[in-house]
Amino acid sequence: MKMAENSQLFPTTEFVETDSFSFERELFRQGFALVAGTDEAGRGPLAGPVVAACVILPEGCDFTQFKDSKKTTLKERVRLYDLLLEIGADIGVGYGSVEDIARINILQASLLAMKRSVESLAAKPDYLLVDGKFPVPLFIAQKSLVKGESRSASIAAASIVAKQERDLLMKKYHQQYPRYNFARHKGYPTAEHRALLKKYGPCEIHRRTFKGVREHLVNG
């Protein structure tokens, strides 16, 4: 199940690259009242869920503050996350579990997490701006944007929330599985993480279908 994209709403490349609120502004002009952006964090790690967020920015907010989470420091992300709460942005968060990833693969689990993040919003959006190449499996008008976190403030805001939520979750997992030092690398395939995997083998939150993990399974 997926909603056909509505690319015809954005007729020219020149228009969409004007600024990071050009998509949202045009959608408001066309009568869409609730425009949301969605993004995920954690497709690449060897451990932990993929986490998605969906954000509806207030129409009159200072959208210029929101940028790709990969271009922010931890201090900036915390400030921007708090700012989203202060300005009353509607925020939804969704998860693709390690079991989801094993069952349907990381791409589909990411889209499922995005779907869940949209469904957890307080209000149903009229239009969805999605980071990446693929639409979210929902009957909502939407457009997929490659490198969307650099092209849409709504997606950028979602990227900040998703990154913060996942980092906080991995810190909690660190308390449960301290030997892997998840608080430092957040499950990404760093040299330290790979060495710890080789030493201890995978734990319950490692992605057992991923290269770098499955080699260390007892029966793998």
Q: Is residue 205 part of a domain?
A: no
Q: Is residue 63 part of a domain?
A: yes
**Confidence bin at 18 (pLDDT 50/70/90):** low
Higher local confidence (pLDDT), 4 or 36: 36
Q: Is residue 212 part of a domain?
A: no
Query: In this predicted model, what pLDDT tens digit does every residue of 71-88 receive, in sequence order?
Result: 888 899 999 999 999 999
Domains contained in the chain, number: 1
Residue numbers of the domain that contains 14: 7-168
* DSSP H or E segment with residue 152: none
Q: Determine the pLDDT at residue 112.
A: 98
Q: Is residue 190 part of a domain?
A: no
Q: Does residue 11 surpass a pLDDT of 70? A: no
Least confidently predicted of 2-16, 70-84, 174-188: 2-16
Q: Among 132, 95, 144, 134, which residue's Cα sits nearest to residue 116?
A: 95
Output the average pLDDT for the chain: 91
Q: Determine the pLDDT at residue 1.
A: 44
Structure tokens given for 100: 């989801």
Q: Does residue 12 surpass a pLDDT of 70? A: no
Q: Is residue 216 part of a domain?
A: no
* Cα–Cα distance for residue pair 181/170, rounded to 1 Å: 9
Cβ pair 21, 66 in contact under 8 A: no
Q: Is residue 182 part of a domain?
A: no
Q: Determine the pLDDT at residue 56.
A: 97
Q: Is residue 101 part of a domain?
A: yes
Mean pLDDT along residues 155-167: 96
Q: Among 93, 50, 87, which residue's Cα sits nearest to residue 66?
A: 87
Q: Is residue 131 part of a domain?
A: yes
CATH of the domain at 112: 3.30.420.10
**Confidence bin at 8 (pLDDT 50/70/90):** low
Query: In this predicted model, what pLDDT tens digit does every residue of 183-208 receive, in sequence order?
Result: 999 999 999 999 999 999 999 999 99
Q: Determine the pLDDT at residue 71.
A: 84
Mean pLDDT along residues 37-66: 94
* Amino acid occupying residue 76: E
Q: Does residue 220 surpass a pLDDT of 50? A: no
Number of residues in the chain: 220
Question: To the nearest whole percent, how much of the chain has pLDDT over 90?
Answer: 80
Q: Determine the pLDDT at residue 212.
A: 93
pTM of full prediction above 0.75: yes
